[in-house]
């Protein structure tokens, strides 16, 4: 079993976090950690990096927040991972310049936010999640409340 497959299995079991090798996953996860493998997507302008276990634990809380806010429960049924064919999956990727995200529904424009030309980059997963959860530049009150209630800082 490759290191990628071990990581994928471990974080799915321990945190309910899907790890994918591409943002073009055919499964509708609530959110994923993208860890590109050699040859999977050579168009990326950055060198991909493997997220930490702390990142996986944080993404687990983010997924819990999204599922709870949309479905009123902490997980989706008895599945190993949280999947919904109607969800707009958010993909998070760690690179040599920081964190980036994309949405499954994006069909044109940049592949990830922030772009390589962006002045502002995000050095932590929490910073990019805060950015993704903001609306019009304002923090999301429900996300901020969830962070406070769950000791996320």
pTM for the full predicted model? 0.88
CA angle 74, 78, 83 (to 5 degrees): 70
Listed by start position, the domains of the chain span 3-149
Count of CA atoms in the C-beta half-sphere (13 A) of 139: 10
Please give the radius of gyration of the chain, using alpha carbons only, rounded to the nearest integer: 15
Give pLDDT tens digits for 71-105. Answer: 877 666 667 788 788 888 899 999 988 999 988 88
* % the chain with pLDDT above 90: 48
pLDDT surpasses 60 at 34: yes
pLDDT for 75 = 66
Summary mean pLDDT of the chain: 86
CB 34 within 8 A of CB 21: yes
The full length of the chain comes to 153
CB 121 within 8 A of CB 95: no
Give pLDDT tens digits for 105-150. Answer: 887 777 788 877 778 889 999 999 999 999 888 889 999 999 999 9
pLDDT for 57 = 97
What's the burial of 83, exposed, middle or buried (CB within 10 Å: 0-12/13-18/19+)?
A: middle
pLDDT for 42 = 62
* DSSP SS3 for 122: strand
Give pLDDT tens digits for 43-70. Answer: 667 788 899 999 999 999 999 999 988 8
pLDDT for 38 = 62
CB 50 within 8 A of CB 125: no
């Amino acid at each position: 079993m490759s290191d990628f497959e071990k990581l994928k299995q471990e974080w799915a079991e321990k945190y309910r976090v899907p790890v994918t090798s591409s943002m073009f996953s055919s499964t509708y996860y609530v959110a994923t950690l993208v860890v590109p493998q050699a040859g999977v997507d050579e168009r990326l302008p950055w060198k991909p990096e493997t997220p930490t276990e702390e990142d996986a634990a944080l993404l687990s809380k983010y997924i819990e927040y999204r599922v709870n806010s949309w479905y009123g429960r902490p997980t989706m049924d008895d599945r190993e991972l949280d999947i919904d064919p109607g969800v707009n999956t958010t993909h998070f990727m760690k690179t040599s310049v920081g964190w980036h995200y994309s949405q499954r529904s994006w069909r044109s424009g940049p592949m990830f936010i922030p772009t390589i030309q962006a002045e502002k980059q995000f050095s932590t997963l929490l910073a990019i999640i805060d950015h993704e959860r903001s609306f019009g530049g304002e923090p999301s009150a429900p996300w901020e409340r969830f962070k406070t209630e769950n000791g996320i800082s």
